[in-house]
Chains A and B, each alone.
Chain A
Amino acid sequence: MVITSGPYIGNPAGHTALAFTGQGVYSYGTPNPYGSDTTSYIQNELANRAVTITTLNTTPEQEQAMANLYNQYYPRHGGRKYSVVSHDCATAALDALGNTKAIDQSILDMLFNPEAPMLPFLPFTVEAAAALQPGATTITLPKGSTVPASLNSYNPTPH
């Protein structure tokens, strides 16, 4: 599931994060530990802005691989440090979604072809790529609304 927080006065670029069934939310560069409560994360985002949720048809194996990629490559200790242009929330999500083929390579090539990119790496472009994936469903939660109970399945389950 791709969670895209819209722009607001404090962050005109917006923010993007991924959440996986039973594994919590992975949000690079925010106060949330990887794998922590998805509902709390979204509710906190909704205090400032609208949030768009795009659900993809992914297997448990793909979701585990995406979580592993965040753990291995996106904290400072796993590799490069945070950069707002080359190592941020958008590149983390695209790396995870692309490397596990949760989004078809043809879609990523079309939008982010390095020789003739249609779009920059930004939170809303991650949302656009996810929405183009066959079978994707998208809902938008207005600012100040309550997180639907249907998303509780994305909260972490105790080991």
Chain B
Amino acid sequence: MSEMSGAIPIELTVNGRRRALEVAAHHTLLEVLRDDLDLTGTKECCLVGECGACTVRLDGRIVDSCLVLAVEADGGEVTTVEGLAPESRLSRLQGAFLDRGGVQCGFCIPGQVMAADDLLRRNPHPSVPEIQEGLAGNLCRCACYEQITEAVLAAAGEEER
């Protein structure tokens, strides 16, 4: 197999739907999700893998989509925040973010929700330190960290403990 340039054909499964695309080698998964697939729930922010606003799940693990080239994800399965609420019904976790006031400006929330969803898949009953560690890669400029932690606890059914 030789070098590829120009428009490179790739296939992705995004939120359960197969998509055939042509991408430039230097375009990131984030750019392709937002600009080519119109999935603008995933946010572009720091572009250095520090803020987590672009968090998506790729082949079962969350990643910063600003640090993944779209061609790298060829053949992969991607879940974005849009995929957490099929038929526009909020997930239990998303509802908990609203109930607990975890959302102020809202910009970081898709990434926060993706990271929290991943944490609860791996660890259905996390402790507060485990939540803080699981969401350490997601910055909230409104500093809603207390409420976000409470929301994750509530979604896990742990708020009474």
A, B: real partners: no
B residues near A, CB below 8 A?
Answer: none
A residues near B, CB below 8 A?
Answer: none
